[in-house]
Chains A and B, each alone.
Chain A
Amino acid sequence: MNIKHKTLFLVVSSVILVGLALPGYSATPKKGKAKTISTAVISDTARTIAPYFSPATAKKMTPDSKGFIQRWLLLEPINKPNRGNTVFTDSYLRTNFSMEYFPNQFTVLPKNGDKVKVGEQELTWHALESSLFNVKLFRFAYGLRKQYYGVIFWAVTVVNSPQEMKNVRMAVGSNSASMWWLNGKEAVLLSGDRRMVADDCVSPRLTLNKGKNIIRGVVINGPGMSDFCVRLLDEKGQPIKNLTITYE
């Protein structure tokens, strides 16, 4: 049993505001290429985004050994109060994901450190690499001392393909609901009060362009540990790994 499903601690989280801390990834994180799933318990009681994230670099990065994309530009959470996740119906999500939160939100390829204004909030884009197969948005927000419940997260990454690939599918899991686009075209919507499960929802067949492709996603959560995982599958359902991931 987890009472979080019944109660949103917005009161608590809403007082956790911008600017209370050093940049969260100041600690030296574990880095490397294809990370395998570790069962070791890592110490994470310090309020930092390490060991979940490290700053993105210009080094060549491919998807991990299972094809999960770990390099992302993440926007600090947008305040979106929801006392529970039962409101995340398809129509609610389409309405709220089509609203403009910041200029050019469906086209911009931000740079690390870029700032946007969302209502009264000034939010920063962070170019990061996840140390896990999934991107733990809760830890991103908590580590940066931002609010972590009642939020919307935007994520962007660039997938560089050595050739055009047809019949590709985008496989996504997210906590909670989310929506994803490939090169500006809607790929997949995950509705309802969801938990992140790898390959939970998969897009229809898509085409990866030769060269640069932009994946954009938006994740919404009320109370709960927001996160997502994304990988691309080939026409046989196998993860595509001969890609490079950049953030610019």
Chain B
Amino acid sequence: MESKMIKKVKWFWGWADEKEEAWLGEMAQQGWHLRRLVFPTVYEFERGEPKEVNYRLDYNAIGRKERDNYLQLFADAGWEHVGELSGWQYFRKEARPGEPPEIFTDNESKIEKYKRLLSLLAALLPIYIVTLNSSFDHQFGGFWAVVQVFSLGILILFLVAIFKIFRRIKALKDG
């Protein structure tokens, strides 16, 4: 029996993980269940029963040593690990009365998640600035002008991402 599958291409920013969780939940309500994540923006869904499912994302680039222990903890709590993409761990659990639908049950640990994301960006930034700097060693004009504009665009994106995540953390601290 063949099972229907569809692919969707969608991009979610790191600070919009709750939007992504909501979207995956909506897909499940329509009977489309996440099956596979393909770098960088492809989601594969398979056909199934429409169900109310909670999807939750953790940003945690778990190393091989810790992986089994980490996943087992979630599995014991009823969370199925659907996949992993660039350090983001995708979990889902069918909504049931009395079952807490959150993997993070206090603000502190939610803040820790965004701090992990922030430290990755902060670690990449100096590397990026060095490469940006060296691209400016070349003369203005032609190919290098395109590279410079592109590089500047990415730098701005970096800074926007860092700012947005800071804002997310602040909202959690205040809320």
Partners in one complex: no
The residues of A with any CB-CB pair to B shorter than 8 Å are none
